[in-house]
Structure 1
Amino acid sequence: MITAMAPPRAFDARIPGSKSLTNRALLLAAAAGATSVLTAPLVSEDTLVFRDALTRLGARVESSEDGGAWRITGLGRGPVGAGRIWCADAGTAARFLPPLAATGHGDFVFEGSTQLTARPVAPLADALRRLGAEVATAPGGTLPLRVAARGLDGGRLDVDGRLSSQFLSGLLMAGPLLGSPLLVRARGLVSRPYVDMTLALMRHFGAEVAEDAPGEFTVRPTGYRAADLRIEPDASTASYFFAAAAVTGCSVTVDGLGRESLQGDVRFVDVLERTGARVLRGRRATTVTGTGVLRGGFAVDMGEISDTFMTLAAIAPLADAPITVRGIGHARLKESDRIEAVARNLRASGVRVETGPDRITVHPGSTSPARIACHRDHRIAMAFSVLNLRTGNLTLDDPGCVAKTFPGFHEELHRLFPQHPLPPPTARA
């Protein structure tokens, strides 16, 4: 007699809106004339800081009672006035908003947390100076960054894209507000999908931007027009729930995140397929189903989807052979040195790890009890929470740091996987 195998448990994960889409759309709506409505924006520390910074620059943002929609009344130009703009830990605020300020008139100072101040802004400041802006940074090319704005005329600009694609995105988004066309050539660009997202959203808000050759862009000084937008679920955040399906042998679906997504990080499911997971890509939804076995024995370049490399590295000890991730050198300049932070946490739990300037290799092995050092980095906390679904012997030293992008992360992971312990209320976001 043949006994039919029970189908895997199936869940629908409730993933909040994309931070990358929310903050870009906020800026473009604030630069447009008239009023735009963003539906299902991400409500988190980073996006609230970004939203508040735009109001300091003169835009008006109103939230619906349930927070499910934001109504932005834009400036129709660059900001006018003066002020100190607090960026907290938000790299997008520190890299997107100074170019916007430089297109206006006034004196603006951008400040941030100790963590954000350690991240470089010198390449952005240098690019703005070459466009004619008056910009000053702290010694070492960090925040605080001061912009004495009197408008920008445009022109030709070479940008080093090896550190972060956010510098290029910030400059491109300012382009339609300049006095003449902006021609930008980006060298060694990392995280290319985020630039594609920027271009798509600029066009959605009425900009005329073209890529004349690979890495060479022309932005015409057309300004922006108001437009409504529904924000997709965050693909980077979804990676933790897709990985959870792969390591627990269940099935997880994320509605609103399909093959037509604007987010490059949706390609993380391609990597999970290499580990043996089954992936179903619909037009408007993606489903990952674990098979009970995690295959290793491969190397993968995740430079274009580097926000998800930690998700793979954290679950790699569960694989049947080593996994190497490469092309991620720029991840050393994020909220933490992410390569080193992941490696140290895995070693602390007894896992063999090797690293290089732009790579990490994780060997299979059982874990011993360990306290995970999050370094105030939301992605470390979330990635190691997925590993703990199988090991059950890891704790986070800062579970509340997930508030940067997903305040309800622990509750949602616990809802789907009750073995995920809820932190004490005082330690939650």
Structure 2
Amino acid sequence: MTTAEVPAPALLARIPGSKSLTNRAVLLAAAARGTSRVRAPLVSDDTIAFRDALTACGTRVRSSPLAEYWEVTGTGRGPTGRARLWCADAGTAARFLPPYAATGHGTFLFNGSSQLRARPQGPLLEALRGLGADIETGPGDGLPLLVRADGLTGGRLVVDSSLSSQYLSGLLMAAPLMANGLTVRPEALVSSPYVAMTVALMRRFGATVEERPDGGLRVEPGGYTPADPVVEPDASTASYVFAAAAVTGRTVTVPGLAAGSLQGDLRFVEVLEKAGARVSVTADATSVTGTGRLRGGFDVDMGEISDTFMTLAAIAPLADAPITVHGIGHARLKESDRIAAVARNLRACGIDTEQGRDRITVRPGEPRPARIACHRDHRIAMAFSVLGLARPGTVTLDDPHCVAKTFPGFHEEMRRLFPAYELPDTAGRAADGDR
């Protein structure tokens, strides 16, 4: 082997903790009787909003000096008293905390940004009302939302889960605090790996959850016991560095994101493997190596890992044949209409793109310079940043700072890994104006 043939060493990516795991673990710790430590939590806009909302409910959360862990002291029951909870842009706060509040006693007012107020809540509120909760809502059954709580007895439910799995997860996590527990069956469930994540964490905190033959779940009453979970690196966030490896021909390794992960979005590396990358998933880490060629000519259902479809779509123009992603209709109801937003941005780059109700097809093409409309959506900003790395000078983000929702140091980490990455202008940040 000549010197020129010596492979470049693997790049070790520093990916922050999973938002989904952090917020679930902090809520379960708040519901447990005693003190838990949530280790390696994500510290970002969404998790801080979630933590602060719990604090407003009376939960004590103490951060270690360097945020290596959050110490959460729970009461073993739902919250009491009166509280105003600001959810900012955090969908998990708006979907997980109202069921928890309803198991307590008091009055709890939830509100959030205009972006969050536009996101649907109907199936969750219908389920809570079916359990006897007293809820008053804003226009269209969304935020602002007032919960007049007097405990929940529990019972049986069928939950419309076609728009989001978060409705089901929120109800499940509240179920051990209900007097009789809960038997629930999801209808048209999307993003099922997130429900599996919820159930695994509930069991870690001592809950009894039984899977039923009809696809439903039975949660016994009895509350939670403290635990000290370690939060894995965020698999959705890791998708951007893995995609960057695929388009640059480098090897990127994420330590701690490994076989046995609770996160379904780790399956994104299987999609990259389909596109020609080499993938290794071990007991300690996951690595992706680009081969110098991005292969297209396939269809893939990403319904269960829809947070990563934008990562694939953003690099799909660099493939040698069209790529179609389907099963992602519910992604139209996230921080933005993600299918439409991705299609418009790709067309602005001169890429031939076609969209349907639950799909998007991206054809090969050489991107031209364009200003990417992020729609205050962190995943759009991070996905198109990978395209900008592969084709320097073609991508400008209209809101590079929206990445703070889940990865405040995203741009700096990309530059550390890939010196050719062009840091966006970091001067100033658009004010929300919605609080």
Q: Does 1:404 align with 2:405?
A: yes
Q: Which amino acid aligns with 1:63?
A: S
After superposing the two structures, state which structure 1 stretch, 129-138 or 93-102, moved more. Answer: 129-138
Which position in structure 2 is the counterpart of 1:347?
347
Distance 1:134 1:246, change over 3 A: same
TM-score normalised over the length of structure 1: 0.98
1:206 counterpart SS class = coil
| Counterpart Cα distance in 1 of 2:180 and 2:18 | 32
Partner of 1:137: 137
- Aligned-pair distance for 1:215? 2.8
1:218 maps to a residue whose letter is: R
Unmatched segments (≥5 aa) in structure 2: 431-435
- Once the two structures are overlaid, the 10-residue window that deviates more, 192-201 or 207-216, is 207-216
Q: Name the CA distance, whole Å, in 2 between partners of 1:320 and 1:159.
A: 42
Distance 1:218 1:297 in 2: 43
In structure 2, distance between residues paired with 1:284 and 1:214: 35
Amino acid at match of 1:81: G
Aligned partner of 2:420 in structure 1 is 419
The alpha-carbon deviation at position 5 of structure 1 amounts to 2.1
- Deviation of 1:9 after TM superposition, in Å, equals 4.2
Equivalent pair of 2:389/2:422 in contact (CA under 8 Å): no
TM-score by structure 2 length?
0.97
Tell me how far apart the structure 1 counterparts of residues 222 and 83 of structure 2 sit (CA, whole Å): 27
Alignment-derived partner of residue 376 in structure 1: 376
Q: Deviations over 1:293-318 (max 9, x none)?
A: 00000000000000000000000000
Q: Distance in 2 between matches of 1:343 and 1:26?
A: 36
Q: Which residue of 2 aligns with 1:211?
A: 211
Alignment of 1:29-428 (within 5 A): 29-392=29-392, 393-427=394-428
- Give the match's secondary structure for 2:314: helix
Alignment length (residue pairs) = 429
Paired with 1:369 and 1:4, the residues of 2 have a C-alpha distance of 32
Q: Is the contact made by 1:87 and 1:112 (CA closer than 8 Å) also made in structure 2?
A: yes
Residue 147 of structure 1, CA deviation: 0.6
Q: CA deviation at 1:57?
A: 0.8
Residues 285, 214 of structure 1: CA spacing in aligned structure 2 closer, same or farther, 3 A cutoff?
farther
The one-letter amino acid paired with 2:405 is K
Deviations 1:376-397 (A, max 9, x none): 0000000000011111111000
User: For 1:149 and 1:374, how far apart are their aligned partners in 2?
Assistant: 38
d(CA) in 2 for partners of 1:3, 1:406: 37
Query: Runs (4+) of structure 1 moved beyond 6 Å?
Result: 1-4
Contact 1:399 1:427 in 2 (8 A): no
Kept in 1, the 8 Å contact 2:401–2:426? The answer is: no
Aligned Cα root-mean-square deviation (Å): 1.2
* 1:136 Cα deviation after fit: 1.4
Kept in 1, the 8 Å contact 2:182–2:218? The answer is yes
Q: Indicate the residue corresponding to 2:433 in structure 1.
A: none
- SS of the residue corresponding to residue 198 of structure 1 reads helix
